[in-house]
């Protein structure tokens, strides 16, 4: 028998593919799921172990650093207190002893504020700063007050007009003597500076200046002459006195005991007693 002939132009039919066997049929999905679970569990356990080991390592390092830090502090106590500054009046030895008694702790724990407070209790100290210097010292830098006048009876006046009373002072006997209510010390100093500038034009110097209870001024000049002037138009009246001094009084100043400028349009002069 001859083979069946295929018509010309006919398309051959594709062979049907064999049907896939379902995963459920052979349990392969169970194997895959089991593998994934085992992998996830192993990866999670590994990450937890890494974190745990890292935390333990950090804790060990912190304990070691803390121990080293504590030992380092114990080995760096402050053993030197250095006082610096341009000092002429301050009792350096007394301050040194007080600061050494006050210093506590190590380079890292020393209380600098307490040392500053101790230094500021000394009358000659205007300003103070404290700093650490490796490995075992503290530097205390002092700015000393500058006395510009004396304050009756036993005080001194600094450049800002404040009154202070040190236990000792040298080279202040030639400073002008100011007096008045202590609360007015700054005002008294300011008026002294202005009055001194006016009188200096004719060669006169104020040795003492007092603010009286009536808020008038009593000046003692370098020749011992007392000058009284009230608080109203004070500088103008002193200007008028300098004109009179240049014209008439300069040659007789040693004979004058007192000049009263408290008049509106005149001056009263008191002469010294002969002999």
Q: Between these two residues, 17 and 223, which has the higher pLDDT value?
A: 223
Residue 213 belongs to domain with CATH number = 3.40.50.11690
What number is the average pLDDT over the span 248-259? 92
The predicted structure's pLDDT at residue 68: 60
Banded model confidence at residue 199, pLDDT cuts 50, 70, 90? very high
Tokens 């333990």: give the residue.
Answer: 56
CA angle 216, 223, 238 (to 5 degrees): 40
Does residue 170 contact residue 177 with C-beta atoms inside 8 Å?
Answer: no
Domain termination site, one of 144, 161, 182: 144
For CA atoms 100, 104, 107, 111, give the dihedral sign: negative
pLDDT computed for residue 25 by the predictor? 47
Assess if residue 180 is contained within a domain.
yes
Greatest extent of the chain over all pairs of C-alpha atoms, in Å: 183
Mean pLDDT of 38-42: 53
The CATH number of the domain holding residue 124 is: 3.10.20.310
Is 128 in contact with 120 (CB distance < 8 Å)? yes
Output Rg (C-alpha) for the chain, integer angstroms. Answer: 48
Do 229 and 247 lie in one domain? The reply is yes
Q: Is the pLDDT of residue 1 over 70?
A: no
Same domain, 107 and 123: yes
Considering the domain boundaries, does residue 27 fall inside one? Answer: no
What percent of the chain has a predicted confidence (pLDDT) above 90? Answer: 61
Quote the domain boundaries for residue 169. Answer: 147-271
User: Could you tell me if 199 and 223 are in contact, meaning their C-beta atoms sit under 8 angstroms apart?
Assistant: no
How much is the pLDDT for 28? 58
Q: Indicate whether 25 belongs to any domain.
A: no
Asked if 181 and 245 sit in the same domain, the reply is yes
- Does one domain contain both 93 and 186? no
Residue 31 confidence (pLDDT): 58
pLDDT at position 57 is 78
132 with 213, same domain: the answer is: no
* Count of domains observed in the chain: 3
Instruction: Judge whether 145 and 126 are in contact, CB under 8 Å.
Output: yes
Residue 275 has pLDDT above 70, yes or no: no
Residue 70 in domain: yes
- Judge contact between 259 and 267, C-beta under 8 A: yes
């Amino acid at each position: 028998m001859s083979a069946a002939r295929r018509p010309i132009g006919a398309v051959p039919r594709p062979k049907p593919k064999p049907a896939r066997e379902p995963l459920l049929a052979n349990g392969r999905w169970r194997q895959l799921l089991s593998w994934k679970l085992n992998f996830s569990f192993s990866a999670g356990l590994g990450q937890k172990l890494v974190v745990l080991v890292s935390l333990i390592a950090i804790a060990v390092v912190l304990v070691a650093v803390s121990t080293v830090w504590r030992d380092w502090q114990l080995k760096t106590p402050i053993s030197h207190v250095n006082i610096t500054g341009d000092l002429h009046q301050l009792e350096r030895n007394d301050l040194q002893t007080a600061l050494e008694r006050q210093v506590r702790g190590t380079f890292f724990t020393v209380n600098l504020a307490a040392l500053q407070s101790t230094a500021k209790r000394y009358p000659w100290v205007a300003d103070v700063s404290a700093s650490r210097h490796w490995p075992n010292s503290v530097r205390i830098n002092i700015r000393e007050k500058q006395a510009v006048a004396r304050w009756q009876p036993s005080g001194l006046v600094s450049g800002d007009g404040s009154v202070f009373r040190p236990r000792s002072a040298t080279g202040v006997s030639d400073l002008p003597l100011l007096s008045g209510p202590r609360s007015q010390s700054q005002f008294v100093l300011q008026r002294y500076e202005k009055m001194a500038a006016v009188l200096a034009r004719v060669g006169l110097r104020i040795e003492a200046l007092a603010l009286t209870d009536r808020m008038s001024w009593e000046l003692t000049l370098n020749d011992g002459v007392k000058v009284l002037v009230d608080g109203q138009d004070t500088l103008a009246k002193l200007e008028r006195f300098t004109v009179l001094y240049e014209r008439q009084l300069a040659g007789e100043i040693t004979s004058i005991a007192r000049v009263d400028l408290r008049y509106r349009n005149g001056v009263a002069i008191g002469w010294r007693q002969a002999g």
